[in-house]
Amino acid sequence: MVLENIIVPSLYVIKGIIILDNDGNRIFSKYYSQSFSTVKEQKEFEKSLFNKTHKGTGDVILLDNWTIVYRNNVDLLFYVMGSTNENELMLNSVLTCLFDSLSGMLRKNVEKRFLYDNLDLVILTIDEICDEGIILESDPMVIMQRVQIRQDDIPLGEQTVSQVLNHAKEQIKWSLLK
């Protein structure tokens, strides 16, 4: 007896996470599979993906042997990719977690300008959600707490200017309230 079409479950669910702006330009992308050998191939894929999805508000699409869930918000497009046999609900839970976590941390200002200003939060958030394609957490509240803790642990010399200014504002505010 030959079993040819058996799908073996894997922990490596996520194949990539992409954030594009309204013009199709990359803001952030992280690929967990070796499907694209060059950045040029990645950008061509992203252009094709943008052309297929930029008019929609969000859904599921099958493109180039990928299952992709996406969400459109103001001037950004969020994508989570998996293999063709991947469960769309799992991919969507990662997408929802990513968006809700960023929305909470950015105080509902999930827009291009705020994302650029807080790119460190985006990277930390994605790292807390999944590691090398393995989903670690899908609860936005847990992600926001973990990212906040990791942000507080960054040495002063490695913090961005906005982080230092925010910290200084908090210190001044607390000293005036005493």
Domain residues of the chain, as ranges?
16-177
- Check whether 78 has a pLDDT greater than 90: yes
Provide the terminal-to-terminal Cα distance of the chain, rounded to the nearest Å.
78
**Identity of the amino acid at 86:** E
| Gap between the Cα atoms of 125 and 113, Å rounded | 17
50 pLDDT tier (thresholds 50, 70, 90): very high
Q: What is the pLDDT of residues 100-111, one digit of tens each?
A: 998 888 788 778
Average pLDDT (156-175) is 66
Mean pLDDT, the chain, whole residue set: 82
- Check whether 152 has a pLDDT greater than 80: no
pLDDT of residue 167: 67
- Check whether 70 has a pLDDT greater than 90: yes
Q: What is the pLDDT of residues 1-39, one digit of tens each?
A: 555 666 666 677 899 999 999 888 999 999 988 888 888
**Paired residues of 99 in beta bridges:** none
- Strands 76-83, 16-21: parallel, antiparallel or unpaired by DSSP? antiparallel
**Paired residues of 58 in beta bridges:** 71
Q: Which fold has domain 16-177?
A: Beta-Lactamase (3.30.450)
| Gap between the Cα atoms of 67 and 61, Å rounded | 6
Question: Which among 69, 97, 96 is positioned nearest to 82, based on CA atoms?
Answer: 69
Question: Which among 81, 35, 34, 31 is positioned nearest to 60, based on CA atoms?
Answer: 81
55 pLDDT tier (thresholds 50, 70, 90): confident
Does the pTM of the predicted model rise above 0.85? no
- Check whether 115 has a pLDDT greater than 70: yes
Question: Tokens 């497009």 identify what position?
Answer: 77
